Chain A
């Protein structure tokens, strides 16, 4: 059930240049939140900025706590970063369709491929997958070592973490999709998931397609209502006969079957 309520800020902590972790107390939202879903947050006390900001759920804390990881990109997120503990924030959620994990059975092995802040929804997914006992290979790429966030939290999940950086300052040197490719054949993955820059997602989808691994990607678009009413946040998909059409990212996604996304867009 989608809730529209005032959530209390528990803590805001800076974890990098312009990057923050936000802890909100919202048990009614946290209780039903699924990995890949998002919360639409009002980032203003006036009409400027006007629209809500969609933030993917990064993790669940203890007892009704929602955790977000975000980069300050404009006035909305800058406003969010200024909110002190104890202040109330207008949130709408949980919204959208999240990731689908394989139906529960033994010996499931999945690959998660995160580029930059694409780590946001994948940490939550990794936690859920580990709770089900699945083996998780987590490939995490960033520009450099300073742009790797939440590495400690990821390691605590008892997953196989593989790091890549563009400049080689941490882990393997090169694109994270190249790193994943090296593990792809031996991995024998039941399913793969990715979030990150669109070019990287396109390469991820190509690799998953070649290896015939069912794959899901989390997409991003500028969004208004978040409820499927305005049709503003669409992305292009292809149906089975190959016809191109537009689907709402807010209600049809943000997670899509990678094979249905029209990457030529």
Chain B
């Protein structure tokens, strides 16, 4: 998929393909009652078609601002029985490393209060297998394809960027400089502004693709890293990656995760994520993709109001595989109910 091919899906009225799976309401209760059921009576197709959901990020036009969060969506095919991938704002795949990565020993997961601790350790088949076996499937879908990459050295990031630049079907790179799970990996780059900037510059020198830097919240001042990577050429930022945490089994007195610590995601981290997005959106001029605990459209709208131009949904898809579709529908319904015609009116519209 090139930069300028078929984007008819930008017009919601052109969304004629019926999803293979009828979206259900998530059983997660809404926090208020203003959101209607998707396709509820009272919202005529005419009213819905007048609403613009498209947003621009780093030179890409997204048909709507809702995309999966890297690491929770596999390589797309896993969710095809439940959602229409052509209805997503973008497709974001699991982190790719230069070489195959086996990941951390199990147990890799621990559920916490409204949250999920994980230490997957970036398990993935590596760049070559991704290009040969995963990309051909992903090319058939119209939304922009964002490939998430991680390296152990600046050179590896540069090499990943160089090789993906030459591959058809990739529309942007999201750069994981913040994964807290791999000891010699992301954490070093994402927590030191100068090193994060070096990675960004090296990638920008090796690709024409838009570069989105994904920031870690596990720092003293996230705006310092944000400014450093934007100065180094980042086209957009995504945040937040998971918060470092741990859990302990009091019977065995051992850590719940084999890796001792892991990254916390889910509704538990949403207030932290929202605060970081709000701060970063004010600190930089590039678009921000907000994420962290978004479970429904109201959560997504909070991130837009805080200044995010788009949002990513992660843990919610692990609970409800149809969550992305429900959120897109409910976002559109919210706009109609609010009498808005363009989702961009929400971006940064927080009133203080």
Binding site for B on A (CB under 8 A): 1-2, 4, 6, 42, 44-52, 90, 92, 221-225, 227-236, 244-246, 265
Is there a chain A Cβ closer than 8 Å to B348's Cβ? no
Shortest distance from the beta carbon of A192 to any chain B beta carbon, whole Å? 25
**New A-B contacts (19) at CB < 8 Å, excluding given A50-B315, A51-B111, A221-B106:** A4-B24, A45-B27, A46-B28, A50-B114, A221-B107, A222-B109, A224-B116, A224-B118, A224-B318, A225-B321, A227-B78, A227-B321, A229-B72, A231-B94, A232-B109, A233-B106, A234-B108, A236-B105, A265-B105
Residue of B nearest to A42 (CB): B27
- Across the interface, do B319 and A51 meet the contact criterion of CB distance under 8 Å? yes
Q: Which residues of B contact A50 (CB under 8 A)?
A: 111, 114-116, 266-267, 315, 319
Q: Which residues of A contact B113 (CB under 8 A)?
A: 48
**Residues B67-114 near A (CB distance < 8 A):** 71-74, 78-79, 81-82, 94, 102-103, 105-111, 113-114
Q: Which residues of B contact A230 (CB under 8 A)?
A: 71-72, 74, 118, 120, 318
For the complex, give the distance between the alpha carbons of A52 and B322 in Å: 14
- Chain B 256-280 interface mask (CB, 8 Å, partner A; 1/0): 0000000000110000000000000
- Across the interface, do A232 and B81 meet the contact criterion of CB distance under 8 Å? no
Q: Among the listed B108, B266, B317, B322, which residue makes an inter-chain contact with A225, where contact means beta carbons less than 8 Å apart?
A: B317
- Across the interface, do B318 and A229 meet the contact criterion of CB distance under 8 Å? yes
A-B contact pairs, 13 of them (CB 8 A): A4-B21, A46-B29, A50-B116, A51-B116, A92-B321, A221-B106, A222-B109, A227-B74, A227-B321, A229-B94, A230-B120, A234-B123, A265-B106
- Across the interface, do A225 and B120 meet the contact criterion of CB distance under 8 Å? no
- Across the interface, do A229 and B79 meet the contact criterion of CB distance under 8 Å? yes
Is there a chain A Cβ closer than 8 Å to B295's Cβ? yes
Q: Which residues of A contact B317 (CB under 8 A)?
A: 225, 229
Residue of B nearest to A223 (CB): B109
Q: Which residues of B contact A265 (CB under 8 A)?
A: 105-106
Binding site for A on B (CB under 8 A): 21, 24, 27-29, 71-74, 78-79, 81-82, 94, 102-103, 105-111, 113-116, 118, 120, 123, 266-267, 295, 315, 317-322
Q: Which residues of A contact B103 (CB under 8 A)?
A: 231, 234, 246
Residue of B nearest to A222 (CB): B109
Q: Which residues of A contact B123 (CB under 8 A)?
A: 231, 234, 246
Q: Which residues of B contact A6 (CB under 8 A)?
A: 24
- Across the interface, do A49 and B27 meet the contact criterion of CB distance under 8 Å? no
For the complex, give the distance between the alpha carbons of A265 and B114 in Å: 30
- Across the interface, do B79 and A232 meet the contact criterion of CB distance under 8 Å? no
For the complex, give the distance between the alpha carbons of A228 and B134 in Å: 14
Q: Which residues of A contact B81 (CB under 8 A)?
A: 1-2
Shortest distance from the beta carbon of A59 to any chain B beta carbon, whole Å? 25
- Across the interface, do A49 and B111 meet the contact criterion of CB distance under 8 Å? yes
- Across the interface, do A90 and B27 meet the contact criterion of CB distance under 8 Å? yes
Q: Which residues of A contact B79 (CB under 8 A)?
A: 227, 229
Residue of B nearest to A229 (CB): B74
For the complex, give the distance between the alpha carbons of A244 and B74 in Å: 22
Residue of A nearest to B266 (CB): A50
- Across the interface, do A233 and B109 meet the contact criterion of CB distance under 8 Å? yes
- Across the interface, do B321 and A224 meet the contact criterion of CB distance under 8 Å? no
For the complex, give the distance between the alpha carbons of A233 and B258 in Å: 12
- Across the interface, do A234 and B321 meet the contact criterion of CB distance under 8 Å? no
For the complex, give the distance between the alpha carbons of A101 and B321 in Å: 31
For the complex, give the distance between the alpha carbons of A44 and B111 in Å: 13
Q: Which residues of A contact B319 (CB under 8 A)?
A: 42, 50-52
Knowing A52-B319, A232-B108, the reply to whether A47 touches B102 (Cβ < 8 A) is: no
In the complex, which of the residues A6, A230, A234 has the most CB atoms of chain B within 10 Å of its own CB atom? A230
Shortest distance from the beta carbon of B54 to any chain A beta carbon, whole Å? 27
- Across the interface, do B106 and A225 meet the contact criterion of CB distance under 8 Å? no
- Across the interface, do B106 and A235 meet the contact criterion of CB distance under 8 Å? yes
Knowing A47-B267, A50-B111, A235-B106, the reply to whether A4 touches B120 (Cβ < 8 A) is: no
For the complex, give the distance between the alpha carbons of A1 and B315 in Å: 23
Shortest distance from the beta carbon of B258 to any chain A beta carbon, whole Å? 10
Q: Which residues of B contact A221 (CB under 8 A)?
A: 106-107
- Across the interface, do B267 and A229 meet the contact criterion of CB distance under 8 Å? no
Shortest distance from the beta carbon of A25 to any chain B beta carbon, whole Å? 17
Knowing A232-B108, A232-B109, the reply to whether A225 touches B29 (Cβ < 8 A) is: no
Q: Among the listed B28, B74, B106, which residue makes an inter-chain contact with A236, where contact means beta carbons less than 8 Å apart?
A: B106
Shortest distance from the beta carbon of A193 to any chain B beta carbon, whole Å? 23
- Across the interface, do B120 and A228 meet the contact criterion of CB distance under 8 Å? no
Knowing A227-B74, A228-B74, A228-B78, the reply to whether A4 touches B106 (Cβ < 8 A) is: no
For the complex, give the distance between the alpha carbons of A92 and B322 in Å: 11
Q: Which residues of B contact A1 (CB under 8 A)?
A: 81
Shortest distance from the beta carbon of B186 to any chain A beta carbon, whole Å? 17
Residue of A nearest to B113 (CB): A48
